[in-house]
Structure 1
Amino acid sequence: MDESRRAGSWFRRLFARGGARSRLDPTRSDLVVVASCFDDAEACSAALQRAVETEPRLDPDAELLLRHHLFVPERAVSRVSEIAAQDGYLPAEPVLSNPDGLTAVVLQRVQRLDALHCSQERSRMAGLAQRHDGHVAGWDAMQPG
């Protein structure tokens, strides 16, 4: 293969949108948790490594449903959801109130995941929750079982 064709192939792979391949449906009934981290001290890389080594195994090359579990005051739920929607996140139902005055909100989106992007999203969600007087419990990722 000549150099220009090889470079073009690399460029197409890098910026491909998946073509005819369909996106993972977040409402599928066969989704199972394949990775999770609810410990602030654990690195995303460690959680993802554990997920590829244990059952059910994470398929690191496939899309997944990434879910962040936040606790925010009820007054902030709609604003937090609105801000997260700018990055493609949607709230999962149901949103539950807790006796401590905070409301549990799960924000989710379909994506591929690696340690860098997982860490970035984890930090983004922590900042979002903190700016609205809340906190993040952790994250999990789901793929078809």
Structure 2
Amino acid sequence: MSLLDRVRALFGRAQPEPLSPDDPALVVVAENFDPSRAASTVLADSPGWASTDQVVLRHVLLLPADRVDEAAGLIGQDGYELRGPVAGQDGPLPGYHAVRTQVVTPLDCSREHSRMASLAQRLGGDAPGWQLMQPRPEPPAG
């Protein structure tokens, strides 16, 4: 247990359970598939995004089939899980999702998308966009 974990436990501020990418309550609260739009603009225009809460950050990757294992190993070093192939991706390359749970800022979204785009390009693929998913807000009681 780290010192920070001990301090949080002492003061009753335990870490929340990480979101699961498989949680059926998750909905897309923000996404960007337009390279000309800044992540800060996308997130500012996304009223469903709770900026202080965890999200599942999901990058869409189009990868050659013979490079998928290599991609999974590389992104796994940064805590991402590669899933797929996913249905509904048109084009010559199959689509995959790189997913990771975290709290994000606009800078995080931009930086991570840039890294995914660079990785995909090095492997002969593409990273057309990203999505943030959070649990659907509970309706107000009453």
TM-score, normalization: structure 2?
0.81
Q: Distance in 1 between matches of 2:90 and 2:122?
A: 21
Aligned residues: 127
1:129-140 to 2 correspondences below 5 Å = 129-140=120-131
2:120 match: secondary structure: helix
- C-alpha displacement of 1:76: 0.7
1:29 to 13, 16, 24: 24
Q: Distance in 1 between matches of 2:55 and 2:69?
A: 25
| Deviation sequence 1:45-98 (CA, Å, 0-9, x none) | 01111113xxxx110000000000011111111111110010000022444596
Q: What do you get for the CA RMSD once the two structures are aligned?
A: 2.2
1:50-61 to 2 correspondences below 5 Å = 50-52=45-47, 57-61=48-52
- C-alpha displacement of 1:19: 2.7
Q: Say if 1:36 and 1:141, in contact at 8 Å, map to a contact too.
A: yes
- C-alpha displacement of 1:127: 0.4
- The answer as to 2:115 corresponding to 1:124 is yes
- C-alpha displacement of 1:20: 4.2
2:95 to 98, 104, 108: 104
Residue aligning to 1:48: 43
> Residue type matched to 1:29 in 2?
P
TM-score, normalization: structure 1?
0.79
Identical counterparts, % of pairs: 37
Q: Distance in 2 between matches of 1:107 and 1:58?
A: 20
Alpha carbons of structure 1 residues 93 and 73: separation in structure 2 relative to 1, 3 Å: closer
Runs of 5+ consecutive residues of structure 1 not aligned to the other structure: 1-11
1:75-114 to 2 correspondences below 5 Å = 75-95=66-86, 100-114=91-105
Q: Distance in 2 between matches of 1:97 and 1:21?
A: 33
Q: Distance in 2 between matches of 1:69 and 1:62?
A: 22
2:46 match: secondary structure: helix
> Residue type matched to 2:118 in 1?
G
Runs of 5+ consecutive residues of structure 2 not aligned to the other structure: 1-6, 137-142
Alpha carbons of structure 1 residues 75 and 35: separation in structure 2 relative to 1, 3 Å: same
Residue aligning to 2:56: 65
Q: Say if 1:72 and 1:129, in contact at 8 Å, map to a contact too.
A: yes
